[in-house]
Amino acid sequence: MATVLVHVTCGPESPTKAALAFLVARSAIDDGHEVSMFLAGDGVQLLRDAVLDSLTGLGTGSLRESYDAVVASGARLYASGMSSKARGVAESDLEGKPVEFAMPNRLVALALESDIVITY
């Protein structure tokens, strides 16, 4: 099976695209692939509980359902530290979530380790 990196830069302003990123990650996991996700730019806002609980994409389903499935699989999730700081996403927003703050060099390393990179 393949290693897949899903890089998410869109946020709640693009609900269908944002939910699709997590749905695709979930689908890859369901097919047996190893998945990592790196959220940057406006994508870091998707990790806030209020957004997770309210965002539903047109034809792409509930963000919360796909997020929970991705997390349950043990996939690695990263949030850009710089993007998070700029958008006020703090450690308290990630409390209880298996998400690690990371810098751009981690994104580069993940991309180099992956068989495929999908960006939303």
What range does the domain containing 37 cover?
A: 3-119
pLDDT in tens, 55-104: 999 999 999 999 999 999 999 999 999 999 999 999 999 999 999 999 99
What 8-state DSSP symbol labels residue 79?
E
Q: Can you give the CATH number for the domain in which 14 is found?
A: 3.40.1260.10
% of the chain beyond a pLDDT of 70: 100
Structural domains counted in the chain: 1
Annotate 23-36 with DSSP letters as a single string.
HHHHHHHHTT-EEE
Closest CA to 62 of 34, 96, 38, 26: 26
